[in-house]
Structures are given as structure tokens and as C-alpha cells.
Amino acid sequence: MSMDQPLLQVRDLGKNFGGVHALDNVSVDVKAGVILGIMGANGAGKTTLFALIAGNETPSSGEILFRCRSIVGLRPDQICRRGVARTFQIVRPFAGLTVLENVTTAAMFGAGLHASHAGAQAAAAEIIGEVGLAGRIHSPAGELTLSGQKRLELARAVATGATLVMLDEVLAGLTATEVEEMLVTIRSIHARRGLTLLVIEHVMRALMRLSHHIVVLHLGRKIAEGEPEAVAASDEVQRVYFGEAA
Amino acid sequence: MKRVPQPVTRDLALILGLLAAAGLVPLVAGDYWTGVGIALLMAIALTQSWSILSSLSGYVSLGHVVFYGLGAYVVVASWGSLPIAVSLPVAALAAAAFAFVIGLPVLRVRGPYFVILTFGLAELVKFCVIAIEAAQGRASRLILGTPGLDTLFFLMLALAALATLLAWGARVTRLGHGLRAIRENEEAAQTLGVPVARYKLAAFVLSAAIPGAVGGVMALRATYFEPIQVFDPMVSFSMIAMAIIGGGDDLRGPLIGAIVLGTLSELLWASAPQLYMIILGLLLVIFVLFVPEGICGRLLRPAPPMARR
């Protein structure tokens, strides 16, 4: 892969559910190492975009290239093996397993970095510490608070060894203090592990602070893209986000 | 890092030790106890096998008797032309091959649909075998010159040990971690890299093999073969009941469930079969409602886990 090629290239991506265009001709390039924020109201197509990239859904049209190779048509586990992971907006912990078992499973499978159980467990324990769940490492995942389960989602996605990690509303439902803590956690993991992050967030101010680059979706289409300040100032975004009066 | 043997591996050593000790039964006790031993060992072999698929992946099979019945059929049909040293492994392979063939379509459905589908499939195969036998002008077969009780005991002992080894292997390898993740949330498991279709199929095939051989041994013990008996759904129900009562996720669970229900059945089945069924039903209701993690999950763990839905 040449250095100047984007890590992820989304080309004219479309997804129809019945007659509804959940996503319509969306193209996005994601450079290695950036934090790319994805903004948009409910129904804008943000989660659909993640589902298409991760292979949970199949595109109706368009192309997705990861490291210059197409990943359209691959199963989610195959895409994960190539280095793409996601969290779920509605958390999906392995509720009956402990935090350590949850993350160890991700480390054992994922991109296939750890052949041995002991190696996977050591890697998992380290990541659990990074997301601030060390004190709950042996608790069943189902007993965590929502904030804890969001951290667990993040830990599992990182533990897969993915280079591209997609975070789907990991700040939603958290208190103001928890949001601040989570931002610190995300930034430090991003820097420490050299990840590329795609971040969906409703908490707009937080997203602006976190992201290097922002893409705005509206009703399945991309309506703006650029630096956070420029995007916030754009007329189109002002109109759909704050209404005509703004 | 210090290497500590995993609890499940200690459990394996303990169970294999108990099975080795059980090997003394035919040497010191009479035919009655040897017969009881065969029944208990059968229960252990079947329930351990069942737990590989159903306890670990959460895909509850209500039709595992189909593998038992097919194994019995293979051994009986080849009786006289194949020695049991060949026909019993063939029975296990046939059961595993059948699981492989039906696995991909069957494992696409989840939850109650999977339960009903496995049950229906077992009944379908039962009536196919009945039809095949009837077409050949047979309702049942007698098999003569079967091995003695002690031989059958040791064969069943070997199958119980093999099933326990497989059940242990499924728990300590990547397969077990993947299957438990599938049980807890299949889509999350797949998104984290677990090849779910392949793993479910592997578990299905592994859980089918030993029941095939067990069916073969039991056909030799019965010395006659009647499809309606070797495909009796009660065999499937017992596996589930024993796993639920013992606690299927734990390697000791199937063993404990098999001993509890096997003993109860031995005490009551001949004298008061209806009372046995009533007690079995009551036990199942009590366990499902109040002790869903089973005896092992409740009593033998250091810290009681959270009650599961």
C-alpha cells in the first residue's frame, strides 16, 4: 500500500431498505491515523455506514476499499480479520461472561494477533486498564453500568487488533463527567495505539473537540465535510442542524 | 506469567480419575451393578456430547437422539459382516457425517426454531428408518452373539471418557471461547472476528460423534433393534434434563446431572415409571425457574454468579 493512499475509501456507497435510501451515493476517504467524526440527525445513515463497512449489511451499490482492497461481500469476521472493528450503539456485551473474558475473546479472534489464550488474556488485561475498567475485570459484563458497558465495547473493538476502529455513540447516555473521562480515554488510546477512528456522535460539541475532520450526513447523503470549525460554520449544516432561522 | 492449571483441566483429571475407578465395578460387583454402570456411563457420554453444542453455543438440540439412533442402526445393519471394532467407529463417523450434512442449513435458524427443527428432524429420520425396515419386511431385528456385559461396560466407559475429553477440549480451545461468545451475542461475536458458521458446525459435528457410538453399544446391549425405541425422543429429553440439572457450561455439570437423574431413574423406572416422570418434570421446573445455572453453577463455584435470564 502506498503511503499517500487513504486507509479507507468509500466510493458512491448506497443502501436501500425496501424503497428507503438509508444511504445514497456517499463517498468518504479516511487517512491513516485521523479521528474522523460523523455527524447527522437520527436517520441520517450514520449507523448504516458503519454496518456496511463492518460487513453486518451488504451495500446496494458502491465500493469500499480498505488498504486499497475491496471488502464488499466479505463476512464481518473476515473484515475484522483484516483490521476493521466497530462498537454497537446499543451495547452488545457477552453479558454472562466476565469483562476479562469479553475482551480476551476479541483478542483471540479479531485480526488474529494472539494464538495463545495466555497472550490474548495479557493483551486484554492491558486494554481493560486503558479504558478504566481494571476494577471490574472479573465482573460479569451484564453487571456493568451503561458507562461501563460502553467502555467494554471500546475495549473489545481495540482488542481485536484493528487499525480502523468505528465508535458508534460511545458517549450517548453518559453524564457530563463521564463524557469528559471517555474523551480522555479515546484520545489516549488513539495516540498510544496509532489507530484510525471513525466516530459517530450525537453530542456535537464533544465530537467537534475530538475530531480532526468531520463528515455530515443528512437523510442518507453527505452534505458537508471538512475541519470541525469550517463544517460548523457551513450554511448547509447551520440550516439542517439549527433550522432556517439560524 | 505463572502457569496455573485452569480449573476445567483439574475437573477433567478428577472426572477421568472417577471413570477409571468406575472401571472396577465389573470386577468386584455383579451383573446388576454392571448394568447400572452402563446406564450411568451412557448418560455421561451423551450429556457431555450434547453440552459441546448446546451448553456452549446456546443452540439447544432437542433431537440428539437422531445420532444415537443412526449409530444403533449402523451397528445393527452391519452386524455379522463387520466386527464391532470397525462398526462402532463407523457409527460415530456416520453420526458426525450426518451432522455435517444437515448442520449448515439447520444451524441457520436460532432460538426456539432451532429447538423445534432438531426435534422434527429426529422424528423424520425415525419414520424414514421405520419405512426402510418395513419395505424390507421387518418390524424389528434380533441380533445374536453380542459381546458380554463386561465388554459393553468397558466400551461405554471408553466412550464416556472420550466424550469428556472432547467436552474438555471444546472448552479450553479457541472453539470454546468462540462458542460462548456466540451464545451470549452472535452478531457481536461475528463482528469481533468469530467465524460463527464454521464454529457452530464444528460443535454440531463434535457433539454428534460419540452419541452415534453410544447408540451402537446400546443396540448390542439390547440384542434387538426396533427403530421406535432407538429413536425415542426421551433419550434427547434426558440429555437436556441432565445438563440443566447438573449445569451444562461446567465440565462437571453433565457428570453430576447424569449421576443424579441416572440414579433416580434406576431407583424408580422399573417400579414406578410414572412417579419417575413426575419427579423429573418437577425437578426440571424447579431448576429452570430457580437454579438455571444448575447444581455446578450454584454450589461448586467460589462466587455465585448473577442470576441469568
Q: What is the pLDDT of residues B32-65, one digit of tens each?
A: 999 999 999 999 999 999 999 999 999 999 999 9
Nearest to A77 among B1, B190, B308 (CB): B190
Residue A84 burial (C-beta neighbours within 10 Å; 0-12, 13-18, 19+)? buried
What's the whole-number mean pLDDT along residues B22-37? 92
Asked if the model's pLDDT at residue B14 lies above 60, the reply is yes
Confidence of residue A177 (pLDDT cuts 50, 70, 90): very high
Furthest-apart CA atoms within chain B: distance in Å: 67
CA distance A220 to A45: 5
Confidence of residue A238 (pLDDT cuts 50, 70, 90): confident
pLDDT of B1 reads 40
- Determine the distance in angstroms separating the CA of B7 from the nearest CA of chain A, rounded to an integer: 15
pLDDT of B303 reads 47
Confidence of residue B305 (pLDDT cuts 50, 70, 90): very low
Q: What is the ipTM of this complex?
A: 0.92
pTM of the model: 0.91
Question: Among A98-112, B3-17, B28-42, which is the least confidently predicted range?
Answer: B3-17
Nearest to A97 among B172, B184, B187 (CB): B184
B193–A77 C-beta distance less than 8 A: yes
- Residue B254 falls inside a structural domain: no
For A131, list phi and psi in degrees, rounded to 5.
Answer: -90, 0
Pairing state between β A213-218 and A221-226: antiparallel
Give helix B149-172 / helix B7-22 axis angle, nearest 10°. Answer: 180
CA distance A159 to A151: 12
The total number of structural domains in chain B stands at 1
Confidence of residue B274 (pLDDT cuts 50, 70, 90): confident
A101–B192 C-beta distance less than 8 A: no
CB B182 within 8 A of CB B58: yes
- Residue B280 falls inside a structural domain: no
Confidence of residue A3 (pLDDT cuts 50, 70, 90): low
Question: pLDDT tens across B134-175, in order?
Answer: 999 888 889 888 999 999 999 999 999 999 999 999 999 999
What's the whole-number mean pLDDT along residues A157-165? 97
- Residue B157 falls inside a structural domain: yes
CA distance A111 to B193: 7
Confidence of residue B11 (pLDDT cuts 50, 70, 90): very high
Find the closest chain B residue to A92 by CA distance.
B188
- Residue B274 falls inside a structural domain: no
- Residue B264 falls inside a structural domain: no
- Residue B20 falls inside a structural domain: no
- Residue B251 falls inside a structural domain: no
- Grid cell in block for residue A192: 498510544
Range of the domain at B205: 32-231
Confidence of residue B306 (pLDDT cuts 50, 70, 90): very low
A92–B177 C-beta distance less than 8 A: no
- Residue B255 falls inside a structural domain: no
Confidence of residue A245 (pLDDT cuts 50, 70, 90): low
Q: Which residues of A touch B181 (CB under 8 A)?
A: 94, 97, 105, 109
Question: pLDDT tens across A51-96, in order?
Answer: 999 999 999 999 999 999 999 999 999 999 999 999 999 999 999 9
What residue has cell string 456496511? A52
